[in-house]
Amino acid sequence: MKTTYREAMRSALQEALQQDERVFLMGEDVGRYGGCYAVSKGLQEEFGEERIRDTPLSESAFVGAGIGAALGGMRPIVEVMTVNFSLLCLDQIVNNAATLRHMSGGQFSVPVVLRMTTGAGRQLAAQHSHSLECWYAHVPGLRVIAPGTLEDMRGMLRLALEDPDPVIIFEHNALYNREGELAEDSSITDIRRAAVRRNGSDVSLICYGGNLHKTLDAAEQLAEGGIDAEVVDLRSLRPLDDETILASVRKTHRAVLIDEGWRSGSLAGEIGMRIAEQAFYDLDAPLARVCSAEVPIPYAAHLEHAALPQVDTIVEKVREVMGQNV
Amino acid sequence: MSEFRLPSLGADMKDATLREWFVEPGDTVTKGDSIAAVETDKGIIDIEVFESGTVKEILVQPDEKVPVGTVLATIRSGGKTQGHAEPRKAGVSEDKQAPPEDMPRALNIQPPPGGERKRISPAARKRARELSVDPENIVGTGPGGAVTLEDVASSAGPAAPTGTVAGTAEKQAEAAASSMRRAIAAAVVRSNREIPHYYLSTSIDLTPALTWLEQQNAERPLPLRLVYAILLLKAVAGALQKVPEMNGFFMDDAAQVKDDVHVGVAISLRSGGLLVPTLRDVHRKNPDELMAEFSDLVNRARSGHLRGSELQDATITVTSLGEQGVDTVFPIIYPPQLAIVGFGSIVERVRPVNRAPQVRRVINASLAADHRASDGHRGALFLAEIDRLLQEPERL
């Protein structure tokens, strides 16, 4: 079936709301306006104001309310407009949602699902464009996932709702309009294991979410130049699936990490370290990464483009690692 | 920084010839790693490093013969520098961590400036070692001119890898065999020249011990089954508690009797020759522990992977030629030890039991002891005690 990432998420929300009356959606402008990215358009007409709730502009209040509802037996889906705004409710997420199972000695679980848009590329400027996934991937008690394919956009929400603990889904805003063929088989989605999206023998390109397609495109270009790249889609940013990552690196002996976060303290840094710790003697080239420039993401289109990982910068970095002079 | 010195691998070892380094400057070593092979008059032995760190400098090259205690290499320990050997920059305080040039180099992709360590990828270095190829001599085509896996493979050539390995292994095996023969020769010549042996022998009824063993093994899974040699070793260690003057060394014109029983176990190699690795503290270990250590030692002795420390410190030797079908062994003491115990084959003999003839399984135990340290009377007591202990196998 031909569809977009936006529609895939909307139909996932629809299905969840239909199948479980404990599920409800809340967030800023998710109801009457249909969501800032139009993901929930039409859902309030279908499910009513009780279940598709517009909230005041207070992330701390409505994320806290979601955590409370989850503790009370509901299955809330809370939309935070972008990860940038989630800093206002960092306290609720890190100090409450992530800790309560531990602090109650396992008596309470917080089955809340937080959806956040992340990433740049749509000229939304520095307060709406950052990729802060790794801040959350740092925190024990959270599961952090990022769909990169249509199937994962359609299927991850169901799996996240089944999880008894808080799950954060990062949806890259550049994906929503993307169109593609959605496979019928919903069982191919997994929020625990990384997936090899392209098999290759020369180098492992490790990426997730909004950069998956850029990386796959880069792999195609590299193939024309005789470099056979493998593409690993992390899917889960916390916990990381070391097994799949290492199996790929042990096969190809090289790794380039693609991460839209800033380089310093990035998820790419963590993954690189795990490879160094566990597969050092399998490496045939220095590890390398393609991250965002360490600047607030610019508004101007050409500067924004220059600040982000792009197909050509991925290709260039891979050639460098392969010892091809560029 | 520490010094890696040629250790004494036996009370009588004076020097050794360095045969091979398994590491090179810059390699990281962990306490317990075998990092070099030396040839002593006991054969080629891997020697261990007793500190973790990085190999700084190799000071003795292969085929150099050096006395015990010689510094073979320097090891930079755990990232810190100490002492005076490290040049320091002005302004760096003495208690600071390693200066910047000692830190692992950032993996920036630049050609290495002159004098820097050659760039060889970790995987390529590992593969080169497996192929016995020196990666230093390979032209690198990887990033920054680094030697890659592919460079190692193509430099080894399509047929070379197996050929090289086989050739080297064969040569090494030959060298090891001839050096081992020389080592045995040196030890036995010294023994017969210096040690006035006396010999005693007695035949021991092993039926109770073997019956007990068979019952034990019937209840055990295959990997946990005991061999009868373990009972013999326990009996020897037990008898030494009663007659300690068989246990120790004769050095500087005097017997040095030891409390701890470390038994050298003579293991014949299929390729010829023999090795005598040490089972430590036999008197303190139960048969199961001994069995596990014994099979490990035998396996590694036969595959040539004993550590230097495992060939040291034996206070007595036991040799068993049971499989060869001989009745009695007349062994030669392994200097500077005080005694050696030999066991022949187990044979069926008609023996009187309670005044009636019975077919019993019997083994001949023999003792060769240093007459300077003990007399035949004590030797006889020692063998009698071994006999007595073997009649109560469950207590061993």
Question: Closest residue of A to B144, CA-based?
Answer: A323
Task: Tell me the per-residue pLDDT of B334-364, one tens digit each, with 9 for 90 and over.
Answer: 999 999 999 999 999 999 988 999 999 999 9
Averaged pLDDT for residues B150-178: 59
Does A321 contact B121 at a Cβ distance shorter than 8 Å? no
Verify whether the Cβ–Cβ distance B143 to A253 is below 8 Å. Answer: no
Q: Cβ A284–B148 below 8 Å, yes or no?
A: yes
| Residue B151: closest C-alpha in chain A | A284
Structure confidence at residue B96 (pLDDT): 39
Mutation target vs A (from B119, B149, B152, B154; most A CBs, 10 A cutoff)? B149
Residue B94 has pLDDT above 90, yes or no: no
Residue B129 to chain A, least CA–CA distance (Å)? 12
A174-178, B132-136, B308-312: least confident range: B308-312
Nearest to B126 among A281, A320, A323 (CB): A281
Task: Specify the domain boundaries for CATH 3.40.50.920 within chain A.
Answer: 195-321
Furthest-apart CA pair in chain B: how many Å?
93
CB contact under 8 A, B121 and A284: yes
CB contact at 8 A, A254 and A272: no
Distance CA A87, CA A91 (A): 8
* List of chain B residues whose C-beta atoms are within 8 Å of the C-beta of residue A286: 107, 109, 143
- What percent of chain A is modeled with pLDDT above 70? 99
Q: Do B107 and A286 touch (CB under 8 A)?
A: yes
Judge whether A256 and A286 are in contact, CB under 8 Å. Answer: no
Residue B107 at interface with chain A, using a CB cutoff of 8 Å:
yes
3-state secondary structure of B348: strand
Look-up of token digits 């820097």: B116
Residue B235 has pLDDT above 80, yes or no: yes
- B105: closest chain A residue by CA: A286
Distance CA B3, CA A321 (A): 38
Question: Which carries the bigger pLDDT value, residue B367 or residue B102?
Answer: B367
Mean pLDDT computed over every residue of chain B: 82
Alpha carbon of B24 to those of A197, B81, B100, B136, B235: distances in Å? 41, 19, 21, 11, 46
pLDDT at B86 over 60: no
Q: What is the pLDDT of residue A245?
A: 98
Please name the member of A281, A282, A285 whose beta carbon is closest to the beta carbon of B142: A285
Say what the pLDDT of residue B157 is: 62
Contacts of A287 in chain B (CB under 8 A): 107
A281 vs B146: CB contact, 8 Å cut-off?
A: no
Interface probe for A, chosen from B148, B151, B152, B154 (most Cβ of A below 10 Å), is B148
Could you say which of A281, A287, A323 has the minimum Cβ distance to residue B142? A323
Residue B167 clears pLDDT 60, i.e. is over it: no
Q: What pLDDT was estimated at residue B87?
A: 39
Q: Using the predicted structure, report yes or no on whether residue B106 has a pLDDT greater than 70.
A: no
pLDDT of residue A23: 98
pLDDT higher at B155 or A126 = A126
User: Which residues 137-166 on chain B approach chain A with CB closer than 8 angstroms?
Assistant: 141-143, 146, 148-150
Helix (H, G, I), strand (E, B) or coil at B268: strand
Mean local confidence (pLDDT), B49-56: 86
Instruction: Name the residue in chain A with its Cα closest to that of B140.
Output: A323
Beta strands in chain B, from DSSP E residues, in sequence order:
2-5, 15-21, 28-29, 34-40, 43-48, 53-58, 65-67, 71-77, 197-205, 248-251, 254-257, 263-265, 267-268, 274-275, 278-279, 316-320, 339-353, 356-370
How many angstroms separate the CA atoms of B228 and B226, rounded? 7
Start and end residues for every CATH 3.40.50.970 domain found in chain A? 2-187
Q: Long-range contacts: B81-84, Cβ < 8 Å, 24+? A: B81/B1, B82/B1, B83/B1
Which residues 6+ apart lie within 8 Å of B329 measured at CB?
Answer: B319, B320, B321, B342, B343, B344, B364, B366
Question: What is the structure's pLDDT at B11?
Answer: 63
Q: Letter for the amino acid at B251?
A: M
| Interface touch A286/B143, C-beta < 8 Å | yes
Closest Cα to residue A28, out of A91, A113, A116? A116
CB contact under 8 A, B141 and A287: no
Of A185-189, A219-223, B34-38, B246-250, the one with minimum mean pLDDT is: A185-189
Partner residue facing B122 (CB), from A280, A320, A323: A280
Q: Are strands A229-233 and A203-207 parallel, antiparallel or unpaired?
A: parallel
- Average pLDDT for residues A47-52, to the nearest whole number? 97
Residues of A in contact with B28 (CB under 8 A): none
Identity of the residue in A281, A283, A320 whose CB atom sits nearest the CB atom of B109:
A320
Contact A323 B143 (CB under 8 A): yes
B355's enclosing H/E stretch is none
Banded pLDDT at B168 (limits 50, 70, 90): low
Helix (H, G, I), strand (E, B) or coil at A188: helix
- Residue B106 C-alpha, separation from nearest chain A C-alpha, in angstroms: 9
Q: What is the pLDDT of residue B115?
A: 57
- Tell me which chain A residues have a C-beta less than 8 angstroms from the C-beta of B148: 284-285, 323
Residues belonging to chain A with any Cβ–Cβ distance to chain B shorter than 8 Å: 253, 280-287, 320-323
DSSP state of A116: E
Contact A285 B124 (CB under 8 A): no
Q: Which of B109, B121, B150 sits opposite A283 (nearest CB)?
A: B121
Inter-residue contact B314 to B233 (CB < 8 Å)? no
Kindly report which listed range (A92-96, A317-321, B351-355) carries the lowest average pLDDT score.
B351-355
Percent of chain A scoring above 90 in pLDDT: 96
State how far residue A322 is from chain B, nearest Cα, in angstroms: 6
Cβ–Cβ gap B121/A282 under 8 Å: no
pLDDT band at B252, cuts 50/70/90? confident
Contact A153, A173 (CB under 8 A): no
Query: Does the beta-carbon distance from A287 to B107 stay under 8 Å?
Result: yes
Closest approach of B122 to chain A, Cα-based (Å): 5
For chain A, say whether B129 makes contact (Cβ under 8 Å).
no
Residue to test with chain B: of A227, A254, A284, most B Cβ within 10 A = A284
What pLDDT score does B8 carry?
Answer: 79
pLDDT-derived band at B46 (thresholds 50, 70, 90) equals confident
Q: How is domain A195-321 classified at the CATH fold level?
A: Rossmann fold (3.40.50)
CB pairs under 8 A between A and B: 38
CA–CA min distance B104, chain A (Å): 13
Determine the Cα–Cα distance for residues B55 and B64; give it in Å rounded to an integer: 19
- Region of A323 (left: φ > 0; alpha: ψ -120 to 50; beta: rest) is left
All structural domains of chain B: 1-84+95-104 (2.40.50.100), 197-395 (3.30.559.10)
Write down the architecture of domain A2-187 according to CATH: 3-Layer(aba) Sandwich (3.40)
Name the band, by pLDDT with cuts 50, 70 and 90, for residue B79.
very low
Which residues of A are identified as catalytic? 59, 128
CB proximity B124 to A under 8 Å? yes
In three-state secondary structure terms, B150 is: helix
Secondary structure (3-state) at B61: coil
What is the nearest CA distance from B37 to chain A, expressed in angstroms?
23
Chain centroid, CA B116 distance in Å: 37
Q: What percent of chain B has pLDDT over 70?
A: 84
